């Protein structure tokens, strides 16, 4: 469609002329007279060509359910220009959040607390969780629906939900980095951390052991098994101590990653110990394949 550029700041006052122009021009509706902004035939025709006509429609037409539903089905965010009454109309709101879950931010407080509306929104876009009522941010079904759509929506859940092992593990299954959104309590829970790391090794970057800087400190406090489970921790000193420990035996995949480690001292250890580790791995494979 040719852009509106032939009538600089022209105010449209003639209905027939405007209806004809709408068919060929992208009309800037802010230049339409107030009388024509209240003409449903004009606004409906213009709405077929532009999703933002409702912004400049009259207050009366912003309260017209037929017009508003037609618009929000094309672009949910248009709901922001609807009347307060229609932003509290469940049929209108569902049509909007089905298209764009983030439109939940323009919904009445009452419907932000409606479970059907909220789940519809977060299933379309998990980030809509930030606009959910405080009450439903505690609802496990709602939070799970959001996390399944977008794992990092967990950051907008209630503290209780961030401390729910089921919810957090589902997030970690989709992306280990999601552990950073969990509660401090879970990120300090040794048993839970090992569960998370078993699902996705990336989770080990977000356990809370800020007070530990060396292998000896973690080993003495948590034990070698826990430390070795966290071999890929972003703290380079821990990675260095783990790689340098005589009892550490990485997998083939871990060796490949270690040889590309961004920190030179860690990378050097992997390069120096690679042949030793590969020999041990072959020895273990040979023992396991021996039949008696």
DSSP for 61-114 reads HHT-HHHHHHHHTT-GGGGGGS-TTGGG-HHHHHHHHHH-GGGGGGS-HHHHT-
46 and 127 within one domain: no
42 and 5 within one domain: yes
Q: Is residue 176 part of a domain?
A: no
**For residue 1, what pLDDT is reported?**
34
Q: How many domains does the chain have?
A: 3
- Helices 65-72 and 90-99 pack at an angle, to 10 degrees, of 20
Domain's final residue, options 162, 191, 217: 162
Backbone torsions φ then ψ of 32, nearest 5 degrees: -85, 140
pLDDT digits (tens, 9 = 90+) for 130-188: 999 999 999 999 999 999 999 999 999 999 999 999 999 999 988 888 988 999 898 88
78 and 3 within one domain: no
In 79-98, which positions are buried (b, 16+ CB within 10 angstroms) versus exposed (e)?
Answer: bebbbeebbebeebbbbbbb
54 and 75 within one domain: no
Structural domain span for residue 42: 1-62
Mean pLDDT of 74-94: 94
Q: Is residue 153 part of a domain?
A: yes
Domain's final residue, options 40, 62, 84: 62
3-state secondary structure of 252: helix
Domain's final residue, options 62, 90, 107: 62
- Residue 46 tokens, joined: 């213009």
CA angle 39, 42, 46 (to 5 degrees): 135
Mean pLDDT of 51-56: 80
- Helices 115-124 and 140-149 pack at an angle, to 10 degrees, of 20
80 and 12 within one domain: no
Chain centroid to CA 188: how far? 24
110 and 151 within one domain: yes
Nearest to 239 by CA among 211, 208, 218: 218
The pTM is what? 0.68
3-state secondary structure of 245: coil
User: Residue 173: enclosing H or E segment and its boundaries?
Assistant: helix 165-174
């Amino acid at each position: 469609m040719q852009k509106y550029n032939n009538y600089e700041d022209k105010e449209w006052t003639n209905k027939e002329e405007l209806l004809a122009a709408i068919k060929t021009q992208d009309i800037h509706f802010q230049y339409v007279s107030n009388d024509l902004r209240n003409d449903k035939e004009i606004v409906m025709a213009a709405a077929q060509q532009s999703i933002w006509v409702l912004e400049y429609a009259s207050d009366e037409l912003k309260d017209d359910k037929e017009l508003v539903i037609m618009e929000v089905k094309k672009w949910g965010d248009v709901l922001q220009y609807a009347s307060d009454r229609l932003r509290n109309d469940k049929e209108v709101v569902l049509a909007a959040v089905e298209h764009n879950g983030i439109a939940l931010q323009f919904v009445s407080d009452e419907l932000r607390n409606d479970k059907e509306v909220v789940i519809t929104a977060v299933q379309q876009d998990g980030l809509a969780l930030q606009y959910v009522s405080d009450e439903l941010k505690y609802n496990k079904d709602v939070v799970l629906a959001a996390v399944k759509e977008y794992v990092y929506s967990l950051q907008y859940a209630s503290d209780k939900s961030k401390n729910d092992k089921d919810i957090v593990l589902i997030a970690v299954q989709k992306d280990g980095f999601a552990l950073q959104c969990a509660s401090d309590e879970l990120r300090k829970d040794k048993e839970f951390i090992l569960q998370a790391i078993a699902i996705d090794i990336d989770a080990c970057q977000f356990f809370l052991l800020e007070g530990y800087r060396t292998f000896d400190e973690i080993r003495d406090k948590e034990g070698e098994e826990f430390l070795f489970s966290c071999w890929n921790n972003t703290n380079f000193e821990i990675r260095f101590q783990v790689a340098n420990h005589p009892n550490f035996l990485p997998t083939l995949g871990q060796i490949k990653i270690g040889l590309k480690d961004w920190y030179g001292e860690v990378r050097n250890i992997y390069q120096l110990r690679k042949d030793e580790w590969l020999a041990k791995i072959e020895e273990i494979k040979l023992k396991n394949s021996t039949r008696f």
